[in-house]
C-alpha cells in the first residue's frame, strides 16, 4: 500500500465549499514538497534494487520495457545499461524451457528491440527458431497476438552502421563506377 503524506499536508478535497482553492501555508507546502521528494527517492531506490537483482531475462526485459513506457527510464540509464548487458549474457545461458512457450516470441522480440534500441549488436538470426523449414514463420504463431505485436515493434530496428563500413562501401562503389566507365 502506498505511503500517504501526513494529514496536515493533505490538500482540501476537490468538492470543498470554498469558491477558490486555498493554498497551503508556506511551511506546510515545504513539508509536503520534502515528503514528496523523499518518497520519490525511496521509489527510485526500490526500482534500482529490482533492476540490480533481476535474475531472469524475461523479468529484466519486461521491467525495462515498463520503465520506458512510463517515460521514467531517464532516471535509471546506468542501471538499465547494466541490466541489458546481463540480458545479452543471460540469453546464451538461459534455456527456452524456463519461459512459457506462449511467451517465447514476445520475450525474444522484446529482448531484440530493447538491445537494439540501446545500441547492442543483436543478429536477427534469433528469430530463426520461429521459422519452419520453408523459411516462413510457423503457422501456430498467427494466434499469438502479443508476440506478433512485439515482433512488429522490433522489426523496424536496423543494425547500427559503422562509419568505416560506410567508407568502405563508398570506395567499393567508386571502384565499380571506374571499372564500368572503362
Q: How far is CA 29 from CA 8, 34, 82, 93, 99, in A?
A: 10, 9, 38, 52, 48
Q: Give the number of domains in the chain.
A: 1
Q: What CATH number did the domain enclosing 85 receive?
A: 1.50.10.130
What residues form DSSP beta bridges with 131? 137
Domain around 141 = 54-159
37 occurs within a structural domain: no
In the numeric block, the cell 524456463 is attached to 98
**Is residue 1 in a domain?**
no
**What pLDDT sits at residue 47?**
94
* Contact assessment for residue 64 and residue 84, using Cβ atoms and an 8 Å cutoff: yes
What pLDDT does residue 110 have? 95
Could you read off the pLDDT of 63-122 as tens digits, one per residue? 999 999 999 999 999 999 999 999 988 765 554 545 566 688 999 999 999 999 998 888
Amino acid at each position: 500500500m502506498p505511503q500517504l503524506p501526513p494529514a496536515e499536508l493533505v490538500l482540501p478535497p476537490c468538492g470543498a465549499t470554498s469558491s477558490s482553492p486555498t493554498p497551503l501555508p508556506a511551511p506546510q507546502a515545504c513539508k509536503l514538497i520534502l515528503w514528496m521528494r523523499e518518497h520519490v527517492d525511496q521509489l527510485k531506490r526500490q526500482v534500482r534494487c529490482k533492476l540490480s537483482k533481476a535474475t531472469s531475462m524475461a523479468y529484466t526485459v519486461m521491467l525495462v520495457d515498463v520503465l520506458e513506457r512510463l517515460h521514467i527510464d531517464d532516471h535509471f540509464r546506468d542501471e538499465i545499461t547494466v541490466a541489458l548487458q546481463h540480458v545479452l549474457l543471460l540469453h546464451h545461458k538461459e534455456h527456452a524451457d524456463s519461459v512459457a512457450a506462449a511467451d517465447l516470441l514476445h520475450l525474444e522480440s522484446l529482448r531484440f528491440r530493447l538491445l537494439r534500441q540501446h545500441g547492442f549488436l543483436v543478429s536477427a538470426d534469433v528469430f530463426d527458431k520461429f521459422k519452419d523449414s520453408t523459411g516462413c514463420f510457423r503457422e501456430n504463431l498467427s494466434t499469438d497476438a502479443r508476440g506478433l505485436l512485439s515482433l512488429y515493434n522490433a522489426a523496424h530496428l536496423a543494425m547500427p552502421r559503422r562509419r568505416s563500413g560506410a567508407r568502405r562501401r563508398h570506395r567499393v562503389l567508386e571502384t565499380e563506377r571506374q571499372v564500368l566507365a572503362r
